[in-house]
Amino acid sequence: MKAPTFKYLRAESMDDVYAAFAEYGDEAVILAGGQSLMPMLNMRLAQPAVLVDINPIYELSGIVLSNQKLHVGAMTRHVEVANAELVAETLPLIGCAIKQVAHRGIRNRGTFGGSLAHADPAAEMPACAVALDATLILQSHGGARRVKATDFFLGVMSTDRRSDEILTSIELPTQGSNHAWAFHELSRRHGDFALVGVAATAQRRSEGLDGLRLVVFGCEARPRISEVVASRTLVPQDVAEFAAAVVKDLDPMSDLEGDAEIKLIQAHALVERSLNDLLAAQPYD
Amino acid sequence: MTEMLSIKLIVNGIVVNKLVDPRQHLTDFLRSDLGLTGSHIGCEHGVCGACSVRVNGRVVRGCLMLASQSDGAEIETIEGLVESGDLNELMTEFVARNALQCGFCTPGILLTAAEIVAEDRCFSRQEIRNELSGNICRCTGYQAIIDAIEMVLIENMKKK
Amino acid sequence: MTEPEKIIGVSFPRPDALRLAAGRGTFTDDIVLPRMVHMALVRSPYAHALIKSIDTTDANKAEGVVRVVTGHDLVEICSPFIAEIEFLPNMISPRQYALALEEVAWQGEGVCAVLAESRALAEDAAELVKVEWEELPAVVDPVAALTVGTPIVHRDLKTNLAMTMPIEEGNTKLAFAEAEVVVEHAFEFGRQAGVALESRSVVADFEPTGRQLIVYQSHQTPYQMQDVYARHLGLPEHHVRVIAKDVGGAFGIKLHAYPDEMTAVAASVLLGRPVKYIVDRQESFSSDIHSREMTASGRLAVSGQGIILGVEVDILSAIGAYSIYPRTSVGDGIQAVQFTGAPYRLPAFKGRVRIVYQNKTPCGAYRAVGQPIGCSIIEQLIDIAAAKLNIDPAEIRRRNNLNSDDMPLKAAGGLEFVNVSLNECLTELLAKMNYESLRRDQKEAQQRGVYRGIGLATFVEQTAVGAGLYGPAGVRVSAQEGCALRLDPTGLVRCSTSATDQGQGTLTGIQQVIAETLGVGFDDITVKAGDGGSTPYGGGSWASRGLAIGGEAARLAAIDLRGKILSAAAAIIQGSSENLTLVSGKIFDGAKFKMDLSELSEIVHFRQNTLPPDVDFEMNVIRHFVPREFPYFIANGIQASYLEVDIGTGGIKLLEHWVAEDCGTIVNPMLVDEQLRGGIVQGLGAALYEHCIYNEAGQLLTASLADYAVPLASEMPDIHVIHIENKASGTGLGAKGAGEAGTLGAPATIWCGVNDALRPLGAQVWKQPFTPAHVLQALHSRGSLHKVGEMFKN
């Protein structure tokens, strides 16, 4: 199980990346953390002609807070996101969910941007990015483009990124004491991709919650906001009805771990738990 | 014909200059080019953790990184960490309670365990289990491994 | 101090553990030889196909390629093999080649080998081999494999039915007619892989001028492989030496003669160069033996007091494309039937197993061979009966357990028992787990809508199989174990044993047996194993035999060497050997110290001239042992699990696990505990995750460690171990095996526990593994797959 031959380019700067795109076009594939790409190379499921290694581009890493937004560099490793106090304080949803991302050795190398660009529908970070209304910054030789997470994910491992673009950073609006969040995931084992998961945020009102951004992931081809409940106010007595509505709106894919009908049952349980969590959560400082 | 790349890195404290096939993963390089056979190849798709090595201070899967990417890096393998004595407490506990059987996964597990221990905070038993979830052991059933790590954590707390 | 030192029964750490922990093991892939080439295989992408042609032109011209080899090249030097059993004359088995010639019968069967300067280059060239295929219909479903008009896996066999074995004892018809309660259940067991973390590996080194073959192989039994290579490659046996250095887990996977490893060895003969072949993880999933793919129907007849009156079981066992060489693949199904109900008094028993070929990876012996199936069937049936009669699951087991009054016993399935301690194990287990209080906790949780279950699984374990199995079968596998001891001039002892160790600690146990029996310190002995050319001939490691048989051989050798030492000592001190003892390396006459063993050793090695001519100075012994009085030793025990089922998602959380086990004399308690724990976790993997899933075309969909889930540290419970020590009859040591007990009982424990949790909801699982999807399927009663159909039909 050895990778096929390819040309390896070490990009020290964004210009190196653009130059590689210009020279090799679609044949150039970006190597970020490599935690998804490397297995595919070793198994020869991916046979790119050129690998452009962006690990040496230091400016793609880091977490900065400004204007009530957390700016996360695409090459920021999962471990750095998980350990960042800024993330724990301002985006507790991510602080919680990132612990479910694979395992220590993978989180030490895998990157936040890589996880989004890879767009596995059962992955945690894309779902969180959608729930948190993140904006992704894509850069090409021609300049930058801003894409909402809700528009970025198109299907199974398919995104709005063009082949001459590179995801450079992610902007996440921070959450304060008026926000509630919930995260539930069913996986076979700790660190596995989700069989079904829920990432949700909402705003507290004097009575109930509104602005509900609830994403059921690991179920459909891409993470998306459940629109059927997005504009309604959630109060405790409506949890069952909300859960039923969210699940009715799902169109799950069958996989080895269960058919669509099973996924709906599981999603229902997790959605209901998430809604209860949102309602129960105490405002935090 | 294969075009080779020149890399220069530090492995277990020693400067190494080598030509590598760009597609060769780090563990293959360490094993076949440097004779560091203590890191094992269990799956080559990043699941089992037997190939774990320390790169710039963090434990990663050696099979999910190219040797060519290690240019300029500082690599530590089980061989280096054993020689430096960094793993002494863990190894003693592992042997004392038979926290290894065939030993194929053990170097990788020790590296992960050392990283957990080095975090210098409290871990519940379940947390240790979760932190170790990226290293497959097919022989032991894990309990003795968890016991060994827990024991080292407790001993370290006592020392403070 | 003349009291013998207590060494047997003490938890010595393994002397080789530190070496392995430090990464200083020598696994087969660590071996590099001069002029060594690497092999990659072209494997069939189809489950069933004809090979129309193979074009190796481009591959031959590729960078680094030394040779490309097809089946037709190999058949010249490597004869085909057929795995059969002499006492099963009706069993049919296809001929198998190292590389397929005209037809492939599973996705992953090898058709062409590329030998190149590196594995990567060999894989590059393998992609250039052009094979023209004609796809044939695949036989995938075991039931469909027996329907009229089905495609046939091997057309020359004319049927997919490898064999049928019926067993009948007593009158089940009457038993079922008279029973107050009859319960039934249908079962499905998912196909499993063994997943040794070190994949199968071989480095073959053929030296053409002297026609000497050395094979380094990650294997459990080098002796068997020497025989296989010698016969199939036409070499004299003493020119073949198979060496197993450190082996990274085996579990039965590394017990067989695989065509791909045969290919690598034959390629070395063909090239006259060393060949390394490492089965990569993907290949491992499609080419290591699988096991346990079975469906079964079971019925149980009990009296109003819950006393078993009769058992009926009908099993269909699917073994893939070939019967694996040389031990065959029928043991799984046969043992599944034999062990259904084995721990209990069974007045009447009717069983049948049918074994079918299909276009999937061949199956073979994996840890606990068939026994987990039989255990799961009876334990589930007995729980259902208990529930119906409102008898506690622990109590119904106590009422039916075999006990010493029943001994000796030749049981319905043909098993022979000498002693058991099932009720002692049950009593100890219930006390340790605080059974009553758990039952209260379970009830209290249920009131909160939390569904917890307690699963119990009684088991008997066939260990340390003697010559009675493979001997009559005509399978060339030795059931004896041997031990050679040599006293060195400094009074230290070298042991060389045929028992092999893949991490179980067998060699440590043998070292303890020798130390205590001989009268030297534990550290005064080194043990060497794994070299088929220079160790005493034997079986190696299979069927939990290391201490029970290998340990007994070591004990006999130590007694003999001790006798020789004391005779020589008597001559030296001019006394009688009768009163002499050897304790901790010192020779005493009664209580009186006479000489150090080191002093004697120096005399017998360097100064023989000082000894009278009739004194035996040869301080070497070799002894073998094979059980002849009994065919095997039956170990026994019971496991328990406490678990919680999430009825919303179908997830199962394991809370705690217990085992009470009797493996006879315990040489090293710590190592036995760890065998049990490791075995249990493998069984928990079977219960919760492990499943080789194929699609309708016979394509394996779970050929990676991401898709085939094995247990991780995160979900496994703490496991409490209790020992009952009931010596085996027939050996001085009294040890029985312990290596498979965990794997044997754990799936049944979970099966019973999950259904105990679901019983208030009127649901029960029937299909292993118990994935969240299956638990929900059971809860929402979808499908009627678990209905028992007519048994013993067709």
Q: Which residue ranges make up each domain of chain A?
A: 7-53, 58-173, 179-280
DSSP state of A111: B
Cis, bond preceding A126 (omega within 30 deg of 0):
no
CA distance B126 to C714: 7
- How many domains is chain C partitioned into structurally? 3
Residues C512 and C637 in one domain: no
Residues C695 and C606 in one domain: no
Task: Sort out which chain C residues have CB atoms less than 8 A from B136's CB and list them.
Answer: 197, 705, 710, 712
Cis, bond preceding C4 (omega within 30 deg of 0):
no
Residues B9 and B76 in one domain: yes
- How many domains is chain B partitioned into structurally? 2
DSSP state of C548: I
Residues B92 and B74 in one domain: no
Tell me the per-residue pLDDT of C315-334, one tens digit each, with 9 for 90 and over: 999 999 999 999 999 999 99
CA distance C791 to C187: 13
| Whole-complex ipTM | 0.98
| End-of-domain residue from the set C287, C312, C336 | C287
Residue B160 binned pLDDT confidence (cut-offs 50, 70, 90)? confident
Task: Sort out which chain A residues have CB atoms less than 8 A from C124's CB and list them.
Answer: 4-5
CA distance B82 to C335: 46
CA distance C570 to C593: 13
Q: Which structural domain range is residue B15 located in?
A: 5-81
Report the pLDDT value the prediction gives residue C468, as an integer from 0 to 100: 84
Task: Sort out which chain B residues have CB atoms less than 8 A from C718's CB and list them.
Answer: 143
| End-of-domain residue from the set C238, C261, C287 | C287
CA distance C229 to C244: 15
Query: Which subunits have 3 or more CB–CB pairs within 8 Å of chain B?
Result: A, C
Residue C247: helix, strand or coil by DSSP?
coil
Indicate whether C453 pLDDT > 70. yes
Residues C601 and C634 in one domain: no
Contact assessment for residue C65 and residue C114, using Cβ atoms and an 8 Å cutoff: yes
Residue ranges in chain A whose pLDDT is less than 50: 283-285
CA distance A105 to B135: 9
Residues C356 and C375 in one domain: yes
Query: Which subunits have 3 or more CB–CB pairs within 8 Å of chain A?
Result: B, C
Tell me the per-residue pLDDT of C417-427, one tens digit each, with 9 for 90 and over: 999 999 999 99
CB contact under 8 A, C773 and A258: yes
Report the b/e string of C730-767 with b at 16+ CB within 10 A.
Answer: bbbbbbbbbbbbbbbbbbbbbbbbbbbbbeeeebbbbb
Q: Which structural domain range is residue C279 located in?
A: 31-136+197-250+253-287
Tell me the per-residue pLDDT of C736-791, one tens digit each, with 9 for 90 and over: 999 999 999 999 999 999 999 999 999 999 999 999 999 999 999 754 456 778 89
Residues C538 and C560 in one domain: yes
Residues B101 and B72 in one domain: no
CA distance C105 to C69: 20
Residue C289: helix, strand or coil by DSSP?
coil
Residues B39 and B72 in one domain: yes
Which residues, 6 or more positions from C788, have their beta carbon under 8 angstroms from its beta carbon?
Answer: C184, C185, C186, C297, C298, C299
Q: How far is A259 from chain C (nearest CA, A)?
A: 8
* Contact status of A268 with chain C (Cβ, < 8 Å): yes
CATH number of B121's domain: 1.10.150.120
Report the pLDDT value the prediction gives residue A282, as an integer from 0 to 100: 55
Contact assessment for residue B108 and residue B140, using Cβ atoms and an 8 Å cutoff: no
Task: Sort strands C212-217 and C240-243 into parallel, antiparallel or unpaired.
Answer: parallel
DSSP secondary structure, chain B, as one string: -PPPEEEEEEETTEEEEEEE-TT-BHHHIIIIIT--TTS--S-SSSSS-TTEEEETTEEEEGGGSBGGGGTT-EEE-HHHHHHHTTTHHHHHHHHHTT--SS-SSHHHHHHHHHHHHHT-S---HHHHHHHTTTS--SSS-SHHHHHHHHHHHHHHHHH-
Report the pLDDT value the prediction gives residue C440, as an integer from 0 to 100: 98
Domain A179-280 -> CATH class: alpha beta
First CA to last CA distance, chain C: 71
Beta strands in C648-770 (DSSP E): 652-662, 719-723, 767-768
CB contact under 8 A, C248 and B23: no
Report the pLDDT value the prediction gives residue A223, as an integer from 0 to 100: 97
- Which of C10, C19, C197 is best to mutate for the B interface (most B CBs within 10 A)? C197
Contact assessment for residue C489 and residue C601, using Cβ atoms and an 8 Å cutoff: yes
Quick one: CA dihedral C589, C591, C595, C601, positive or negative? positive
Q: How far is B127 from chain C (nearest CA, A)?
A: 8
Residues B73 and B91 in one domain: no
| End-of-domain residue from the set C601, C625, C649 | C625
Q: Cα torsion at C496, C497, C498, C503 (round to 10°)?
A: -110
Q: How far is A4 from chain B (nearest CA, A)?
A: 7
Q: How many helices and strands, by DSSP H and E, does chain A display?
A: 11, 13
Indicate whether C732 pLDDT > 50. yes
CB contact under 8 A, B101 and C713: no
In a domain, C47, yes or no: yes
CA distance C278 to C224: 20
What amino acid occupies position A87?
Answer: V
Residues B66 and B14 in one domain: yes
Which tokens is C662 given?
């009797």
Considering CB atoms only, which of A2, A3, A106 is closest to B46? A106
CB contact under 8 A, A106 and B61: yes
CB contact under 8 A, A8 and B58: no
Residues C507 and C636 in one domain: no
Order of all β-strands in the sheet with C65-70: C65-70, C110-116, C37-43, C275-278, C201-207, C212-217, C240-243
Task: Sort out which chain C residues have CB atoms less than 8 A from B94's CB and list them.
Answer: 17, 21
Report the b/e string of C596-616 with b at 16+ CB within 10 A.
Answer: ebbebbebbeeeeeeeeeebe
Tell me the per-residue pLDDT of B115-143, one tens digit each, with 9 for 90 and over: 999 998 999 999 999 999 999 999 999 99
Which residues, 6 or more positions from C290, have their beta carbon under 8 angstroms from its beta carbon?
Answer: C191, C192, C193, C320, C360, C361, C362, C363, C364, C366, C692
Residue A121: helix, strand or coil by DSSP?
coil
Task: Fold for A7-53, please state it.
Answer: 3.30.43
Indicate whether B81 pLDDT > 80. yes
Residues C587 and C499 in one domain: yes
DSSP state of C541: S
CATH number of C225's domain: 3.90.1170.50
The residue count of chain B comes to: 160
* Contact status of C24 with chain B (Cβ, < 8 Å): yes
What amino acid occupies position B153?
Answer: L
In a domain, C793, yes or no: no
What amino acid occupies position B48?
Answer: C
What amino acid occupies position A137?
Answer: I
CA distances from C58 to A2, C74, C124, C593 (A): 20, 20, 11, 78
- Write the secondary structure of C736-787 as one string of H (helix), E (strand) and C (coil): CCCCCHHHHHHHHHHHHHHHHHHHHHCCCCCEECCCHHHHHHHHCCCCCCCC
In a domain, C21, yes or no: no
Contact assessment for residue C424 and residue C724, using Cβ atoms and an 8 Å cutoff: yes
Residues C223 and C306 in one domain: no
The residue count of chain C comes to: 794
CB contact under 8 A, A55 and B133: no
Tell me the per-residue pLDDT of C52-68, one tens digit each, with 9 for 90 and over: 999 999 999 999 999 99
Indicate whether C49 pLDDT > 90. yes
Quick one: CA dihedral A277, A278, A283, A284, positive or negative? positive
CA distance C353 to C370: 11
Task: Sort out which chain B residues have CB atoms less than 8 A from A42's CB and list them.
Answer: 25, 44-45, 63
| End-of-domain residue from the set B29, B55, B81 | B81
Residue of A nearest to B131 (CA): A104
pTM: 0.98
CB contact under 8 A, A188 and C120: no
First CA to last CA distance, chain A: 51
Residues C512 and C534 in one domain: yes
* Contact status of C379 with chain B (Cβ, < 8 Å): no
What amino acid occupies position C185?
Answer: H
Averaged pLDDT of chain C: 96
Residues C486 and C595 in one domain: yes
CATH number of C686's domain: 3.30.365.10
Residue of B nearest to A4 (CA): B23
Report the pLDDT value the prediction gives residue C37, as an integer from 0 to 100: 98
Residue C75: helix, strand or coil by DSSP?
helix
Task: Fold for A58-173, please state it.
Answer: 3.30.465
Residue C685: helix, strand or coil by DSSP?
helix
Considering CB atoms only, which of C127, C704, C772 is closest to A186? C772
In a domain, C156, yes or no: no
Which tokens is C650 given?
């179908």
DSSP secondary structure, B123-146, as one string: --HHHHHHHTTTS--SSS-SHHHH
Residues B67 and B16 in one domain: yes
In a domain, C7, yes or no: no
Which tokens is A161 given?
């990124």
CB contact under 8 A, B104 and C197: yes
In a domain, C174, yes or no: yes
Report the pLDDT value the prediction gives residue C1, as an integer from 0 to 100: 54
Contact assessment for residue A79 and residue A179, using Cβ atoms and an 8 Å cutoff: no
CB contact under 8 A, B91 and C716: no
In chain C, which among 747-786 make CB contacts under 8 A with chain B? none
Residues B75 and B32 in one domain: yes
CA distances from A120 to A123, A220, A222, C55, C628 (A): 5, 11, 8, 39, 60
Contact assessment for residue C753 and residue C642, using Cβ atoms and an 8 Å cutoff: yes
> What's the CA angle centered on C376, arms C631 and C458, to 5 degrees?
65
> What's the CA angle centered on A212, arms A209 and A213, to 5 degrees?
155
CB contact under 8 A, B64 and A2: no
Report the pLDDT value the prediction gives residue C531, as an integer from 0 to 100: 98
Neighbours of C450 (CB within 10 A): 15
Residue of B nearest to A8 (CA): B22
Residue of C nearest to B52 (CA): C23
Which tokens is C506 given?
């067998």
Residues C418 and C381 in one domain: yes
Q: How far is B154 from chain A (nearest CA, A)?
A: 21
CB contact under 8 A, B40 and C27: yes
Residue C212 binned pLDDT confidence (cut-offs 50, 70, 90)? very high
In chain B, which among 34-63 make CB contacts under 8 A with chain A? 44-46, 49, 52, 55, 58-61, 63
In a domain, C787, yes or no: no
Neighbours of C515 (CB within 10 A): 26
Contact assessment for residue C270 and residue C69, using Cβ atoms and an 8 Å cutoff: yes
In a domain, C25, yes or no: no
CB contact under 8 A, A258 and C714: no
* Contact status of A188 with chain C (Cβ, < 8 Å): yes
The Cβ-side half-sphere exposure at C496, using a 13 Å CA radius, reads 14
Residues C406 and C362 in one domain: yes
